[in-house]
Amino acid sequence: MGQVFSRIAITAGLAAVLSLPVAAATSEWQIDPAHSSAQFAVKHLSISTVRGAFTSVKGTVQFDNTDITKSSVDVTIDVNSVDTRVEARDKDLRSDHFFDVEHYPTMTFKSTKIEQVAPGKLKVVGNLTIHGITKEATLDVDGPTSPIKDPWGNQRMGLNASTKILRKDFGVGTSYGPAMIGDEISITIDAEVFYKLAK
């Protein structure tokens, strides 16, 4: 019976491999904006947590399916898409009190190094640019998931990334001290990427 299950597992594994796109070791995957977002959390008056999201996330992943450390990530977030569910607060965040979207409409992350720390766990180091200031940041990443085929015949993968930054490092809301608005910002990115198969 054990041999039967082993043969089934091997057959299933081969089927999964054969379903992957036939391409060079490195392929370019697009972030799907409709199924991706960047969430953030910050303390207010040191007693509560305000959460929000940037709902417009775009970019590419150069995915090396033979050595994931040779992959790379390039993400652009539209700061105008900020949403904390309070219109007045969102307007203030877009103003020169905080992000100043008129002069800095996007924030970006470009990876410089990817390290596999455990199965399904990565550390992605890169340059994070917010409010015109670039600092190195490290993302803790779960994924990417194994590719699946969507109903339209494309390959898709999912991943989750998280990090923490200090807003003072990027000159955001510097007129507000940590007693009013926390300096540490927790960031979580949920992304779905897809690869269009040639027809």
Which of 104-113, 139-148, 190-199 has the lowest average pLDDT? 190-199
Residue 15 located in a structural domain: no
Q: How confident is the model at residue 198 (pLDDT cuts 50, 70, 90)?
A: low
Residue 111 located in a structural domain: yes
Domain count, the chain: 1
pLDDT for residue 9:
38
pLDDT for residue 21:
44
Residue 167 located in a structural domain: yes
Q: What is the mean pLDDT of the chain?
A: 89
Q: How confident is the model at residue 36 (pLDDT cuts 50, 70, 90)?
A: very high
Report the C-alpha gap between 94 and 99 in whole angstroms.
Answer: 5
Q: Any idea what the CATH number is for the domain that residue 71 is in? A: 2.40.128.110
Residue 3 located in a structural domain: no
Residue 181 located in a structural domain: yes
Continuous segment of H or E residues that includes residue 5? helix 2-18
Domain extent, residue 129, equals 24-195
Task: Find, among 75, 69, 79, the residue nearest to 36 by Cα.
Answer: 75
183 has a pLDDT exceeding 60:
yes
Residue 8 located in a structural domain: no
pLDDT for residue 105:
98
25 has a pLDDT exceeding 70:
yes
Is-contact 195 29, C-beta < 8 A?
Answer: yes
From residue 9, give the alpha-carbon distance in Å to each of 12, 14, 16, 191: 5, 9, 11, 29
Where residue 162 falls (left for φ over 0; alpha for ψ -120 to 50; beta otherwise) is: beta
